[in-house]
A and B are shown apart, each in its own frame.
Chain A
Amino acid sequence: MDDNQEQQDFDSAEDGSQLSADEERLLDELGLFGVTRREFLGQSTAAVLGTFAFQLLAREEALAALPTAPGAAMAPTPRLENAVRVLLKINGAPQRLEVDSRMALLDLLRERVGLTGTKKGCDQGQCGACTVMVDGRRVLSCLTLAASCEGKDVTTIEGLAKGDQLHPMQAAFIKHDGFQCGYCTPGQICSAVALLQEARNGEASHVTADVRARNRNINLTEEEIKERMSGNICRCGAYPGIVAAIKEVQSGTRTAQTWEFASDERIALAMNPDGKVEVRANEIV
């Protein structure tokens, strides 16, 4: 690949987070977008849109002023062996950095440019927490050498929302409670967003019934979503919510609610299946 070609690719690299017009319309109808989206956020998260972030930012600002202690030890030879200069784009912003050849893209994001949204779960390519998009495709940043990212376009979780306007996938994860502790979440969401493009491309998976039959813009079944998201481990086990969120954003299919309260009538009937219904004395408030 010559330099010009490379530069061109750099400029035109597809941003995997873009939605097609059809998808926009769909999401609008589903209430994950536009005015309805703002309402949805109003119901659930408006109060805290900024508070956590603000709180944490304030804490870091205070830390930034931490003075160096007298007598602080420094390495006698802090030199960087085998430094490599890279120019890459992170969430649209060019970054020119000199990195240790051993540095993983994951550590560049977390330790050098302060983008801690990308998570280190195993550092061995075995969990998916560090998933980011490079040139629009989902990859593992823990196994990507930073040095190899010259000219690449990296999108992290921090690059998905436009200001306080969440990407529909982010909103859907909140709506469907597709996380608990939140640590695998950025990787799940980056993976899910890239998955949208893979479905548009008609890419096959391990559970595709016939890989010889090719279609573009496939509507993914739950089975397909589960297989395609299996590279992102969630130890809290929020998988059903994740699948529901992706299904809704990908194909507009709502998932039926899978929890219920046992009503008094139902309890009475179950306890007395022969039909003699007695309503329990202790009323439930």
Chain B
Amino acid sequence: MKSFKYSVAKEATGAVRAVSANPAAKFLAGGTNLVDLMKEYVERPSEVVDVSRLNLAQIRETSNGISIGALAKNSDTANHPLVRQNYPLLSMAILAGASAQLRNMATNGGNLMQRTRCQYFYDTAMPCNKREPGSGCGALEGLNRIHAILGYSENCVATYPGDMANALYALDAIIRVRGTNGQDRTIAVQDFHRLPGDMPQKDNNLAHGELIVAIEIPRNNFAAKSYYLKVRDRASYAFALVSVAAALETRGDAIERARVVLGSVAHKPWRSTEAERVLVGKPATVATFEAAAEAALKDAKPLEHNGYKVELGKRSIVLALQRAMSGEVA
């Protein structure tokens, strides 16, 4: 780990100013990903601005939903009464990730900033365009069992590994950011993360120095019918092979609104509006869900070792939708 200047931020705008002024500066919140990557020499900041003590940890009801502080811990967020009651999908997604210890440390903002778990990204001896632009993609023709099947480019086949963000995509969250000019701006969550294209080094659309201050979720009617499914190589404390955030609102026999987000299949949480279109207006049956699953994966282009993700993704969508309906499915 490279030596760095450490400072504790007293207020958000000052923190933004400090990091903006130094291209090699980084914000530190929970540290669960950044500190690990610094030890691996993947991240090498010369300056670390600790934002963990900023007054940005509140979770409160707003006129049209909920506002969750960027620095609220994952565990506090998952267990907040408002979140558990009105946005259980978010609780479920957070609780599916990592371990109790990590969720006690990790913050919501930091979780959105989590970097890929691609083995080639982590190993500085290997080529990786995300870590070192121009060095090549080690995974493209290498070990890519855990890599992307959708939306990747020749430059990068990494996936976004998190769970919380998949729920946020399903819940139409808005990311509130303190800009480098000191003013807040908002980003719809689906515009937050990027596909790799020819700039895989850029995970998201934040400018250097911009700080996430809050996550806002509008009110919705998904609470009664939502489910987060995570399929992994072991029962807990592992990243997903495939995950699904599913949410439904029904009226009578018909689906009125639907959200289907796939995790660990692309460089960002993969919201399938194609699947959602198939679902809306139809009865909540297994046949409907299967049609939606086909639609979600129809453009999937698996790599050498991850062909299973296509089938697994489809089956996981069906299962998650069934669970969202709590088994009330024909």
Contact = CB atoms under 8 A, between A and B. Distances in A.
Given A138-B101, A148-B52, A230-B237, A211 B88 contact: yes
B5 A231 contact: no
Interface stretch (B78-86, B191-199, B292-300): B78-86
Contact of A143 (B3, B4, B35, B223): B35
Interface string A65-95: 0000000000000000110100000000000
Given A143-B35, A203-B75, A214-B81, A125 B102 contact: yes
Interface string B81-112: 10011001001100110111110110000000
Interface string A228-264: 1011110000000000000000000000000000000
Contacts of B305: none
B198 to A, nearest CB: 31
Contacts of B98: 231
Given A143-B105, A211-B95, A212-B223, A228 B3 contact: no
Interface in B1-58: 1-6, 8, 28, 30-32, 35-36, 38-40, 48, 50, 52-53, 55
Interface in A107-145: 123-125, 128, 131, 137-140, 143-145
Contact of A212 (B48, B88, B105): B88
B75 A128 contact: no
- Mostly, the B contact residues are mixed
Nearest to B37: A124
A211 B39 contact: no
A217 interface: no
Given A128-B99, A148-B28, A230-B235, A102 B53 contact: no
Secondary structure at the A interface, as helix, strand, loop or mixed, is: loop
Given A81-B3, A191-B101, A124 B95 contact: no
Interface string A1-31: 1000010000000000000000000000000
Contact of B4 (A101, A125, A214): A101
25 contacts: A1-B53, A81-B3, A100-B3, A101-B5, A102-B1, A102-B3, A102-B38, A124-B40, A128-B101, A138-B104, A140-B101, A140-B102, A143-B30, A143-B32, A143-B36, A143-B102, A145-B35, A204-B78, A204-B91, A205-B95, A206-B92, A208-B95, A214-B81, A230-B236, A231-B99
Interface of B: 1-6, 8, 28, 30-32, 35-36, 38-40, 48, 50, 52-53, 55, 75, 78-79, 81, 84-85, 88, 91-92, 95-96, 98-102, 104-105, 223, 235-237
Given A228-B100, A231-B102, 4 more contacts: A82-B6, A102-B38, A204-B79, A211-B88
